[in-house]
Amino acid sequence: MDYLTPFLIALVIFFIILWVGFQWYKKNKEYNEKIKENLDDEHIIDPKTGTKITLEQAENGYWEEPEDKLGIMSENDIQKLYTEEEKETERTLNYLKENFLKLEVDNDTWLTLWQTKIVNQYDNFQHHIPFKAQNSNGTFFLALVELGSNTDIPYRIGSYYLENQIMLWLTVDFDLGHYYFREKTSAEKIMDKVRNNNDFNLTTYETFTFKKTQNIHRVEQILKVIEQEKGFEIEFMGSNIFIKNLRHANLEDLHKIEKIVETIVDRG
């Protein structure tokens, strides 16, 4: 049987190479089909309005207002996008355009956002057009976050990411202090059973304190609402609450944040 071993190993390696090659061919074929489909489409999309126009119209300076003036991307156009993440992000943006009010925010207002720990932990952070919730003073927007470098050599999967995520900015009428919260690691959960020295007794989120609040009870009430949901990073700074998800923008996370905002506003 020993003489068969090298043959069997070679056979297994052959089939592995064959399978990997097939998967690459399949993925590359799908990608090329998407590229061809987009190239065959004689229209381009205005990035501000989502309106489809011909290249000739664009060259002549003609940018037609969309019929609904919201710039909603049709589901047919969404299906032409290559990744599921891109599709979910566009559906999320469509939802914001359809159900929220577009805001004009000056640069001075954005300065508050740039002072947060959330923003400054990323190598690059860019915000998109903000939208205001109609039943509260909460502001939603997509944030393009970049971490790591795509030029690292050797390039490692997971060492770099660039994606659009959802962020909420909500103001309240009292001082929250300055705290940053993220989900606890396994080690932190074990350590908390021995000694929990966090300012707030939270099960899901680890607390990082930069300035204590004098309104402990009111902050605790808000944290009880937030801790019911996972997958976010949160920051309280002054009278501002910032909540951002940790994956690509999607309707599931957006609805969770909507629920949090609604509960906080209802409780006052």
Q: Is the pLDDT of residue 29 over 70?
A: no
Do residues 147 and 233 share a domain? yes
pLDDT at residue 201, as a whole number: 83
Decide which of 63 and 228 is more confident: 228
Tell me whether residue 74 is in a domain.
no
To 10 degrees, the CA torsion angle through 201, 223, 250, 110?
Answer: -120
Do residues 115 and 222 share a domain? yes
How many domains does one find in the chain? 2
Contact by Cβ (8 Å): 166, 245: yes
| Dist CA 112 CA 130 (whole Å) | 14
**Which tokens hold the place of 216?**
């402990």
For residues 17 and 144, membership in a common domain is answered with no
| Longest pairwise C-alpha distance within the chain | 80
Tokens 């951002």 locate to 244
Residues 31 and 116 in one domain: no
User: With bands split at pLDDT 50, 70 and 90, how would you rate the model's confidence at 56?
Assistant: low
pLDDT band per the 50, 70, 90 thresholds, residue 81: confident
**What mean pLDDT is reported for the chain?**
79
Same domain for 10 and 133, yes or no, is no
Domain residue limits at 187: 101-267
**Residue 136 lies inside a defined structural domain of this protein:** yes
| Whether residues 27 and 106 fall in one domain | no
Q: Which of 245, 240, 179 is nearest to 213 (CA)?
A: 179
Nearest in space to 167 (alpha carbons), one of 136, 141, 196: 141
86 located within any domain? no
Is position 62 within any domain?
no
pLDDT of residue 260: 92
CB neighbours of residue 143 within 10 Å: 20
Q: Is residue 46 part of a domain?
A: no
Give a yes or no: residue 73 inside a domain: no
Both 15 and 110 in one domain: the answer is no
| DSSP bridge partners of 184 | none
Residue 200 has pLDDT above 90, yes or no: no
